[in-house]
Structure 1
Amino acid sequence: MPSVEAERALSELMAAKGRVKRPIADLRREWERRAEAEPLPEGLKTSAVTAGGVIAEWVIHPDCDSDAVFILLHGGGFCSGGPVTHRKFAAYLSKATNMKVLVPDYRLAPEHPFPAGVHDCLSVYGSLLHEGIPARRIVIGGDSAGGGMAASTLLALREAGAPMPACLVMIAPWLDLTNSGASYAGNADNDPTISLEWHNEIGPWYYDQADPANPIISPMFANLQGMPPVLLQVGDREVMVDDSKVFAEHAESAGVTVDLQIWPGMWHIWHHAAPDVPEALEAFEKIGTFVQDHLGS
């Protein structure tokens, strides 16, 4: 059973369900304003950096004493989000994993459609390798569209013959931009934040003239052989839950180590509700356990 705090948060989200169409620039600014008002853990260290020519932000929890790096690729439908919107998320991730978190401000659609964002993420990863950080001490992950971007980045690394990071962490990832999952209909009334209509609108902003079934755009259709261990966390109320289920099946068939966690009663990226919702803190803890189990020394 979801906690009282989770039920309360879900009720508030369901009451506000229904997206008012506004220019994407307005939606970006509103999200950043809300994020800037959120309290952060005391002693949190943040600093702007340029990694491989890409603007990014370091987020390091005061309890972190490791030199390992978690590259967090933010969600936002490939068209919004950034280091500011995911600063609190990165803080809790740093604490749970005992890793420094690097949040790239990768280029967004519709101004910069595929493959601009993937190229940015590859540049950030390459810059860490160039600095002498071994791949076994790097984790790549992301939430929602950022989860899909993380999988796309690893597929591109594999194609290039580059060393793979220690593992891949995806939180409610958008892995199929053809939006073919049956859960879009099955969970339409249960998901308070995401809808098929919204994804059908913003998906083309990202893939532009490319084929949305291209495996680098929609990793659900990829051959996943050679991928590192994968953690998937997703709520059972989400319209995208089938993306994670199908990806996990394909990964297991390819011999990849997979931990698929489907959280009862949870909504899309409930992690943002930390520290008020216990399930959010628990989810971060499980990410930390998975990462430490697979991070190289």
Structure 2
Amino acid sequence: MVDRTFQPLFWSLAQLGSRIKAKAPTGLTPGSEHLPAPTTEHVPTRHGSVRVLVQRPVSGPTGAPVVMHMHGGGFVNRHPAQDLHIARHLAVESGVTVVLPDYDTAPRVQYPVAEEQMLDVARWVQTVGDHDWDGAALALSGVSAGAKLAINVCQQLHVAGLPGPQAVALVVPVVDVTRTDRTSSIRRPAISPLVQRFVGWAYFPDIARRRESLASPGFDDNLAGVLPPTLILTGSNDTLAPEGAALAATLRAAGTRVEHHEYPGADHDFIAGRDRPVISDALDRMAMFLASLGKREMPH
């Protein structure tokens, strides 16, 4: 059943959300002022061309590892520059090239357009021959909706029998889009039940399809066999935190290398919020985890 009945509030939120251009925090990474400016590429996908920003490190040999990072925004906001502080930190501290795709969002498109676009962009990153990164040394990262898309890329590569990434960093991941009842101990969490219903209305209007494993990776019985070494960062006040913790427990129980850290008192937006020490710590954890792209042993 498709639930896309006209709702003035949700329509207004969709129009507003698609226009917001959140600014990335600045001044967090010493040395980032020496980085080259991001360049822009256009990647062909089955759903049209996708613009990507490419942040390269200051210097280094050609063939540097590459991280494909997917921004959040509830599948409505499509402004990858909001995560340039993450890309800059990884470029400085890990010496990697970071690719930030500008995937299509609701209400113009709906599931599974972004998921399939991100697979196509990942394959481009892995196989393009005229750039200076090593596509075989691919890692994925993402925030919120982008973290779900990072998981989705792993799932689709696995199903297709293609090489997967060497590591994944998930910040406040979304793993179950069937739920609209999540609550928090704080009065006004960022991902309120209203926001949860809005995301479903905007990007997942076909209610029956929300249980598909590509829509809700938490329903994928083989997820532990699909994900590489995985970092999961959550905030204790985030309504999605229990699902991130459950994902970490599932991976750990199956023997997948996983590192999970929860920030006390933090809500869903801590990676770009006002608590700069928390942002810096999260960025450092991502950089350390991705520095060797999963080639080291991680704690269980």
TM-score, with normalisation over the residues of structure 1?
A: 0.82
Residue number among 120, 123, 148 corresponding to 2:120 in the alignment: 123
Alpha-carbon offset, residue 125 of structure 1? 1.0
Work out whether residues 191 and 239 of structure 2, in 8 Å CA contact, stay in contact via their aligned partners in 1.
yes
- Superposition RMSD on alpha carbons, in Å? 2.7
Match runs of 1:1-297 below 5 Å: 22-29=12-19, 31-32=20-21, 34-35=22-23, 39=26, 41-44=32-35, 45-52=37-44, 53-62=49-58, 67-132=64-129, 136-179=136-179, 184-189=182-187, 191=189, 193-209=190-206, 210-222=208-220, 223-224=222-223, 225-273=225-273, 277-295=276-294
Distance 1:188 1:273 in 2: 16
Q: Is the 8 A contact 2:170 2:233 kept in 1?
A: yes
User: In terms of mean alpha carbon deviation, does 224-233 or 85-94 score higher?
Assistant: 85-94
SS at match of 1:212: helix
Aligned residue pairs: how many?
272
**Distance verdict in 2 for CA 1:111–1:216, change over 3 Å:** same
Answer with 262-271 or 215-224: which moved more.
Answer: 262-271
Give the SS at the match of 1:102.
Answer: strand
- Distance in 1 between the 2:238 and 2:228 partners? 25
State the one-letter code of the partner of 1:92: H
SS in 2 for 1:93: helix
Displacement of 1:295 in angstroms is 4.2
Change (3 A) 1:185 1:90: same
Q: Deviations over 1:212-267 (max 9, x none)?
A: 12111111121211421111001111111011012112222333111111111222
Q: CA deviation at 1:296?
A: 5.0
Provide the rounded CA distance (Å) in 2 between the counterparts of 1:149 and 1:74. Answer: 9
Q: Write the distance in 1 (CA, Å) between the matches of 2:104 and 2:57.
A: 26
SS of 2:176's equivalent in the other structure is coil
Shift of 1:188: 4.9
Q: CA deviation at 1:180?
A: 6.6
Q: How many Å separate the matches in 1 of 2:14 and 2:60?
A: 35
Structure 2 gaps of 5+ residues are 1-8
The one-letter amino acid paired with 1:283 is: A
Query: 2:116, 2:10 → 1: CA distance?
Result: 32
Shift of residue 189, structure 1, vs aligned partner: 2.1
Change (3 A) 1:257 1:42: same
Which 5+ residue runs of structure 1 have no aligned equivalent?
1-18
- Separation of aligned partners in 1, 2:122 and 2:188: 37
